[in-house]
Amino acid sequence: MSLEMLQNVWIVLIAVLWIGYFVLEGFDFGVGILLPVVAKNEAERRTVLTTLGPVWDGNEVWLLTAGGAMFAAFPEWYATLFSGFYLALFLILVALIVRGVSFEFRSKRSNPTWRKRWDLAIVISSFLPALLWGVAFANIVAGVPMEPNPAGGSLFTGNLFTLLNPYGLLGGLVTLTLFVTHGAIFLALKTEGEIRVRANKIAGQVGLVAAVLAVLFGVWTQLAHSNNTIVSVVFLTVAVVSWVGALAANRLGREGWAFIASAITMLGVVAFLFACLFPNVMPSSTIAEATLTIRNASSTEYTLTVMTWVAVILTPVVLVYQSWTYWVFRKRLSPSQIPNPEHGALDLPHEVNA
């Protein structure tokens, strides 16, 4: 393949990796945020956390892979983004670390105060990434102040508060409400009893808020920032129709179909953002010459060729393994299956998770 074709292939593959991350880690964040809302006692809290136990760490691998692919395929984009958005991404990284530690540490002691503090840490560390990822992607699409770097690439000339503009904050609220609804639908799919009822109700309520915010954000993005009007409209339509289907299926108690439709919505949202952005990867809002595209930010043809072969060989293996994991742990959970509330939230016998 030519260099231009390889560049096109890799921007699509990176979009696919971000789609996987938003679909899988999205419901992770939603479940974490909803923990104190849907769970009213220790047995219910342990049930909620156990729905994530076998999958949450695997879901985060999509973020590592997406970051690694950006670094290898488009190093100038990676360097500008991760240096310019350093504080926002650092907050996300700290939140992800605290979140992982919280899942493990809350089960080390049965003291209610101990567990309540770790539960609060789970909520906060799920809330921050859910909000900040939307802020980051909105600013990437809209463009940020940059200037050419004499050493190559571009330099971000703003700060964290530059990112907290009305459009960026709206993007953050969109991902936050979408993830909360996605997580509620997942909980309704994976649990029984009162947790399922509460999650189903929350999905319907927050889903309507997400729909309003998403329409406002989508129209704003389409009118002001889309570089590919027809393609972006198609993906925006897919996201809207799928979201309506998800809310309708959730209302009818068809959680499986609701989750599939919700996942398609995540796909549509990420594809919409990348379609609006292409062929740029990081536009400059101040100096046009500083805009990074897939042409001036990419690696060499040889590097992209080697990466393509690695992706062709290993990606199917990863997908099969992760699909198998979800299949094995597909059954619903209920508080009645928790044998001893004094034990850890994730330390359940295999027959409960199977």
Give pLDDT tens digits for 72-82: 999 999 999 99
Helix H segments across the chain? 3-38, 42-52, 56-73, 75-84, 86-105, 112-142, 160-163, 166-190, 194-225, 229-251, 255-277, 301-328, 350-353
Cα–Cα distance for residue pair 106/211, rounded to 1 Å: 34
Average pLDDT over residues 254-274: 96
Cα–Cα distance for residue pair 13/135, rounded to 1 Å: 22
Residue 176 in this model has a pLDDT that exceeds 90: yes
Judged by DSSP in three states, 74 sits in coil
Q: Are 227 and 278 in contact (CB under 8 A)?
A: yes
What would the CATH number be for the domain defined by 3-353? 1.20.1630.10
125: amino acid identity, one letter: S
Window from 185-189, 330-334, 345-349 with minimum mean pLDDT:
345-349
pLDDT band at 337 (very low <50, low <70, confident <90, very high): confident
Q: Are 181 and 262 in contact (CB under 8 A)?
A: yes
Q: Are 65 and 15 in contact (CB under 8 A)?
A: no
pLDDT band at 339 (very low <50, low <70, confident <90, very high): low
pLDDT band at 140 (very low <50, low <70, confident <90, very high): very high
**pTM for the model:** 0.92
Cα–Cα distance for residue pair 297/272, rounded to 1 Å: 21
Residue 234 in this model has a pLDDT that exceeds 80: yes
Average pLDDT over residues 50-66: 88
Cα–Cα distance for residue pair 283/221, rounded to 1 Å: 14
Cα–Cα distance for residue pair 227/305, rounded to 1 Å: 27
Q: What is the mean pLDDT of the chain?
A: 91
Average pLDDT over residues 340-353: 44
Q: What is the CA radius of gyration of the chain?
A: 21
Average pLDDT over residues 138-165: 89
Cα–Cα distance for residue pair 172/135, rounded to 1 Å: 4
Give the model's pLDDT for residue 346: 46
Place of tokens 């009893």: 193
Judged by DSSP in three states, 57 sits in helix
Cα–Cα distance for residue pair 317/346, rounded to 1 Å: 27
Residue 212 in this model has a pLDDT that exceeds 70: yes
Cα–Cα distance for residue pair 63/19, rounded to 1 Å: 10
Residue 344 in this model has a pLDDT that exceeds 50: no
pLDDT band at 167 (very low <50, low <70, confident <90, very high): very high
Q: Are 183 and 250 in contact (CB under 8 A)?
A: no
Q: What are the tokens at 18?
A: 């971000």
Residue 297 in this model has a pLDDT that exceeds 90: yes
**How many residues belong to the chain?**
354
Give the model's pLDDT for residue 342: 53
**pLDDT per residue as tens digits for the range 270-280:** 999 999 999 99
Give the model's pLDDT for residue 158: 87
Window from 167-176, 177-186, 330-339 with minimum mean pLDDT:
330-339
**Percent of the chain with pLDDT strictly greater than 70:** 95
Cα–Cα distance for residue pair 256/48, rounded to 1 Å: 17
- 238 forms bridges with which residues in the sheet? none
Give the model's pLDDT for residue 125: 96
Residue 331 in this model has a pLDDT that exceeds 90: no
Residue 171 in this model has a pLDDT that exceeds 50: yes
Cα–Cα distance for residue pair 141/283, rounded to 1 Å: 7
Judged by DSSP in three states, 325 sits in helix
Q: Are 334 and 319 in contact (CB under 8 A)?
A: no
**Minimal CA–CA distance to 42: which of 344, 331, 332?**
344
Residue 335 in this model has a pLDDT that exceeds 90: no
Cα–Cα distance for residue pair 233/227, rounded to 1 Å: 11
Residue 302 in this model has a pLDDT that exceeds 80: yes
Give the model's pLDDT for residue 341: 52
Average pLDDT over residues 213-241: 96
Backbone φ and ψ of 284, nearest 5°: -95, 135
